[in-house]
Structure formats: structure tokens, C-alpha cells
Structure 1
């Protein structure tokens, strides 16, 4: 088995299930630390800041994590937005449907809020989404705003089961506008490219770890990374049996993986 220097690790369904711990996840991370290996949490969660994600891992799941080890679509989308324009981003505006984690990253670039005629509309998971927010996003895109979706996850695994994800919210705007969003998060390779650019690791010695074939594993495949699927979240054996391109490796739980 090939040895890897960098692990890109999913959260929901891989490190935990909502508020429920996955004990093998802590052992897995402890083994990475014991062997001096680099790891980053490559999540599609846009609702929290990297510090909030790290605090949740450390305090609620006993998993060693620092904010600078967290890569989110919020950060990757903010970088994408900054590079959209030839002039300064502060000369432009955005409308965002999402939680604080997304909004803080986007407006941290210096771009301005504009609900009526923005240059870009960004849609992510929003726990308080309303018809009015959908309406503003739809009208702005119809007026010509560039449409970005943070990630395509239709569902998220938590302690209650599979709940709606950002992709479910974004698909409503896609339906109302008859336009496809530009996606940044998994399974698109953009988020891996962003991680490589800011962290400087060699993708040839990196592996993607996750529970969801359609996001985590496809992201690794799209970014030309090896992949490790763990059966503690979304994907089932039947799901994988039906795929033409299989994960590089499969395990029932992460304690079966030898780093």
C-alpha cells in the first residue's frame, strides 16, 4: 500500500455524525499525529468559520485540530471571488444566501453587500432560508449576476439522519433561474486546488478521505488524488458496487487504516 504525506479529510460522516462521536476518528487522527503526517479537514460545511470547526472537533469530539487545518468552500469561494475581477474587489458587490461562516469569508474580501443588483450571487446552506432570500437571489441572477454555489451536497449526515444540504438549497435557485451554479466545493477540484495553493503540499502524495462517494471521492477523482472511502456516513456498499470508478481504498471504519 502506498504511503501518503498529506490527508484531506471530510468531517460529517467521517469524523463525526452531527453531535455523535465516531470513536475510530480520534484514533485515526492520533495515528496521523504520531507518525508526523500532515492533515487538513476539507469540509463542505460553510456554516461555521475555521476556528468554530476546529473548536467543535477539539472540544466535542476530542480530535486534535487547529483553525489553519480547516479548508472550507467559504474560504475557497472567497478566493475565487477575489480573482473574478481585474480591479479591486471593493469596487464590486455580492448577495449571499448562507450562514455566518460563508458571509464572514465573502465580505472579509472587501466586496460590498448588494441585495438588488450585485455582481455575484453566492448560495450555500442557510438554516433560516426564506422565500424572500430565494426571491432576491433569483432576481439578481436574472439581472445578470454571476451565480456561485458553495457545494452540491444534497444531504448531510447527522445524529438524526440525512438532512438537507447546501445542494438542496442551491438547486431551488437553479430551478428558478434555469441556470447552473458554478460550484466550488467538493466534488469540484477547485477546493483541492485552493488547498494546494494555500498549504503548499504535493498532491501526488496526498489522499482524500471521506464517507460520501458523490462528494468526497469524486472530488479526489476529479483532482487526480487517491481516495479512501469509509462506510460510516452516506455511501453504502451497494452505492460503490454501482460505480464504474471505485475509490482507491475502502474501509468499514478508520481504525482499519494503516497510516
Structure 2
């Protein structure tokens, strides 16, 4: 199995499930840190800041730095800033998205006369927020969604994800959004820009075919599927475009990396 100069790594289903660390995850990250192999944690979760992600990883015994985290909120802020610096934005979302947009110098407004509408996961969503977003899009605001995940895994089961919230505005405004998170390319391009390596030198690691593996395929890098989350080995290998490799868990990859040291 090929090893790489750097890795982009999914979180839920790859390193942990809820509050439970996945077998081999801590040892794998410790190995990357030990051998000074660059890696970034790439997540569609727009509700958390990089500091929040680092805190979550610390709670399961993984040492990380905020500079190693790329969220869909960060990629969304970068995308809007590149399109129109200092743009006005109506936002549906949580603190992670708000912080990213403000840090990028964007002007958040509780108004329907804005340049952009951004929809991120908001567990306090209500009719008024959806109404303002819909009206703003109808008035010409560019419609952005942090990610299209239809559901998110919680202790109770699979709950409505940001893709479900976004669909309300999509249907009501008759406008399709620009999606930023996995499996789309903006979030992956931000991560690759940070690494400053050739695509052939980087691999995406994840458990979910439709987001993690497809994000690597769409941006043109190799993919490592781990059989520790949602998508089974049998399912990924039956896809028209399968992952570069499917492994039982991250311990398998760590052994290969250690062979090359």
C-alpha cells in the first residue's frame, strides 16, 4: 500500500464515534506527529471553531493544533471573501460559522438586502430565519450552503443535517445553492492550499463514501477508506469509482508508514 507525504483526515467515523475513540486512531495520529507527517482534519461541521475541534480531539487523547483544522465554515468564509471582499451576509448557523465569517472581514446583517445568504447547521432554526434567507435569495443574494449532508449522527439516531435545512430555502426560493463542504472542491482546495504539496503526494482518509471518498475523487487525490464508520468495504468496492484502498482501520496504514521510516 502506498504512503503519502500528507493526509487529509475526516473526524466522525474515522477517528471517533460520538464520544468513543475508534481503534487505532490515537496511535495513528501519534505516529503522524512523531514522524512529522503533515495532516489536516477536514470537517463539514460548521458549528465548531478549530479550537472546538482541537478540544474534542483532546478529549479522546488526540493532540492537535487549531492550524491543523479546516472546517466548512472556514472554507465558506474564504470563498465569499474571494468573490467579494467585505460582502454583506445573512447567515443561518452557529458560532463556528459566525466566527469564521467575521474573522474574514465579512459584514453580517440581519437583513434581506445582502450580497450573500449562507446556510449552516443551526439547531435553533425557526421559520423566521428560513423566511429571511428565502426572501434574500429571491432578491438576488448569492445562495451558499456550508455542506449538503442530509443527516447527522447523534446518540438518538440520524437527525436532520444542514442539507435538510438548506433544502427548505432551495425549494422556497427556487434557487440551487453553491455547496462548499465535502464532497465539493472548495473545502478540499483550501486544505491543499495549506499543505502546498502536489496532489499525488496527498491522500484523503475517511469512512463515508459519498462525502469523504468522493471529496478526494472530485479534487483528484488518492483516497483511503476506513471500514470503521458508515460505508462498508463491500459497498465502496462496488462503486463505479472505488477508493484507492479500503482498510480495516488506521492501524493498517500506520504499519505501512512505519515501514518507510
Q: Give 3-state SS (helix, strand or coil) of 2:73's partner.
A: helix
Which residue number in structure 1 is paired with residue 79 of structure 2?
A: 80
Q: Match of 1:108?
A: 103
CA contact (8 A) 2:32 2:38 kept: yes
Q: 1:238 to 1:159 in 2, by over 3 A?
A: farther
* SS of residue matched to 2:212: helix
Any residues of structure 2 matched to 1:107-146 within 5 Å, and which? 107-114=102-109, 115-146=111-142
Distance 1:28 1:162 in 2: 28
Contact 1:13 1:157 in 2 (8 A): no
2:147 and 2:189 map into 1 onto residues whose CA distance is 15
Superposed counterparts of 1:16-165, under 5 Å: 16-58=16-58, 60-85=59-84, 89-90=85-86, 92-114=87-109, 115-165=111-161
| TM-score scaled by length of structure 2 | 0.92
> Matches of 1:166 and 1:103 in 2, distance apart?
15
Structure 2, unpaired ranges of 5+? none
* TM-score using structure 1 length: 0.93
Alpha carbons of structure 1 residues 126 and 209: separation in structure 2 relative to 1, 3 Å: same
Q: How does 1:178-193 map to 2 (within 5 A)?
A: 178-193=174-189
CA distance in 1, matches of 2:184, 2:230: 18
Match of 2:222? Answer: 226
Report the RMSD for the aligned CA atoms in angstroms: 1.5
1: distance between equivalents of 2:103 and 2:68? 19
Deviations 1:86-116 (A, max 9, x none): xxx33x3100111100111112222222222
In structure 1, the gaps of 5 or more residues are: none
Equivalent pair of 2:233/2:246 in contact (CA under 8 Å): no
Between stretches 97-106 and 27-36, larger displacement belongs to 27-36
Matches of 1:173 and 1:231, distance apart in 2: 35
Q: CA deviation at 1:238?
A: 4.7
Pair 1:251 & 2:250 matched:
no
Deviations 1:234-256 (A, max 9, x none): 21245324411001111222222
Cα distance in structure 1, aligned partners of 2:96 and 2:64: 17
CA shift in 2, pair 1:158/1:38, >3 Å: farther
Moved more, 145-154 or 106-115: 106-115
Q: Please give the per-residue CA displacement for 1:67-87, whole angstroms capped at 9, x wherever unaligned.
A: 0000111111111111112xx
Q: Secondary structure at the match of 1:96?
A: strand
Aligned residues: 254
Q: Residue deviations 1:149-205, cap 9 Å, x none?
A: 111112223444433222121122212222111011110111121122233233220
- Aligned to 1:179, the other structure's residue is in SS state coil
